[in-house]
């Protein structure tokens, strides 16, 4: 199969034409990729995770061509974009149009991420730290903490590409002790970026992938330590304490 053919079957689910929130310091669009190698119970994109990519990649290129004087960044999200064979060719083409590229990833393909970094394909990475080792499978439905851990170590060792680490919290799956465990782990690995703790937000009462019920309580942010070597920020919490 030629690179062009592989690129043509990229499973693109759809696009968000404009965002100021998802790529730091960039005016970006989001490209949503179908399929995922995890099955997180709180996932509020079940139609993307289970869906097929029906969006024509040529339409994406045409859109990016039209918008390149308005946008300067492209976010690859999903689902999980990282594991598609056509992705490197796609990214290269997007970069030749002048766009910076951010990858949102769950981190269980360190082999591919390593190749992307070596080939200089990415400008920013957002890495989900789903859960500490003892809850990783319960949250994601895959027993692959070791692969995630390899990715986190690899990113912490390099300084070329900025990256952030983030955890989405649904309190029926994770509690304060779990977040403290993650925070200690980040400290031990020498993480120096921003750690975002994101409150799970129900999406218009649509069912989640695991059909889990609404949260009965919010995470108690006052129980969390303040890290010395990296920054802590909160998303989607009302009245979050100063980090
Ligand atoms: S929340 Fe989990 S299942 Fe949903 S897209 Fe992200 S990694 Fe995949």
- Rounded to the nearest angstrom, the gap between the alpha carbon of residue 114 and the centroid of all alpha carbons in its chain is 16
The pLDDT, as a whole number, for residue 3 is 46
* Predicted confidence (pLDDT) per residue in 77-120, tens digit: 999 999 898 999 999 999 999 999 999 999 999 999 999 999 99
pLDDT of res. 51: 86
**pLDDT tens digits, 36-62:** 999 999 999 999 999 888 789 999 999
Which atom of ligand 1 lies at the shortest distance from residue 106's CA? Answer: 7
pLDDT score recorded for residue 239: 67
CATH tag, 3-235: 3.20.20.70
Contact status, residue 23 vs residue 75, Cβ threshold 8 Å: yes
- Please say whether the dihedral angle defined by the alpha carbons of residues 59, 98, 160 and 236, taken in this order, is positive or negative: negative
Q: Give the count of alpha carbons within 13 A of 99, CB side only.
A: 30
Q: Determine which residue's CA is closest to atom 5 belonging to ligand 1.
A: 79
Are 48 and 13 within 8 A, CB to CB? yes
For the chain, give every domain's residue range.
Answer: 3-235
- Please tell me the predicted confidence (pLDDT) of residue 8: 53
Residue 1: its pLDDT value, please?
45
Pick out the chain residues at pLDDT < 50.
Answer: 1-5
User: For position 205, what pLDDT does the model report?
Assistant: 74
Structure tokens at 150: 């390899």
Strand, coil or helix: what is 222? helix
Angstrom distance (rounded) from CA 4 to CA 36: 23
- Decide: 107 in ligand 1 pocket, CB within 6 A: no
Give this prediction's pTM.
0.94
Ligand 1 contacts CB of residue 104 (under 6 A): no
With the most atoms of ligand 1 within 8 angstroms of its CB, the residue from 13, 46, 76, 79 to mutate is 79
- CA of residue 34 to ligand 1 center, whole Å: 10
Reported for 64-67, long-range contacts at CB under 8 A and 24+ positions apart, including other chains, are 64/29, 64/94, 64/97, 64/99, 65/97, 67/17, 67/29
């Amino acid at each position: 199969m030629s690179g062009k053919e592989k690129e043509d079957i990229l499973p693109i689910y759809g696009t968000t034409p404009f965002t100021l929130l998802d790529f730091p310091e960039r005016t970006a669009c989001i490209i949503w990729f179908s399929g995922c190698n995890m099955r997180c119970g709180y996932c509020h994109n079940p139609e993307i995770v289970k869906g097929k990519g029906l969006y024509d990649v040529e339409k994406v290129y045409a859109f990016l061509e039209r918008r390149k004087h308005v946008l300067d960044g492209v976010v690859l999200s999903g689902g999980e974009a990282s594991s598609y064979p056509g992705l490197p060719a796609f990214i290269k083409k997007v970069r030749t149009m002048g766009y910076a590229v951010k990858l949102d990833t769950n981190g269980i393909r360190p082999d591919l991420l390593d190749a992307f970094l070596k080939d200089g394909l990415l400008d920013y990475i957002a890495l989900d730290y789903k859960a500490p080792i003892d809850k990783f499978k319960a949250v994601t439905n895959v027993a692959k903490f070791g692969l995630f851990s390899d990715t986190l170590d690899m990113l912490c060792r390099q300084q070329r590409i900025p990256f952030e680490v983030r955890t989405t919290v649904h309190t029926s799956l994770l509690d304060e002790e779990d977040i403290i465990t993650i925070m200690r782990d980040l400290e031990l690995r020498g993480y120096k970026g921003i750690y975002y703790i994101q409150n799970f937000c129900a999406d218009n009462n649509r069912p989640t992938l695991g059909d889990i019920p609404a949260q009965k309580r919010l995470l108690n942010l006052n129980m969390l330590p303040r890290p010395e070597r990296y920054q802590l920020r909160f998303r989607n919490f009302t009245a979050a304490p100063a980090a």
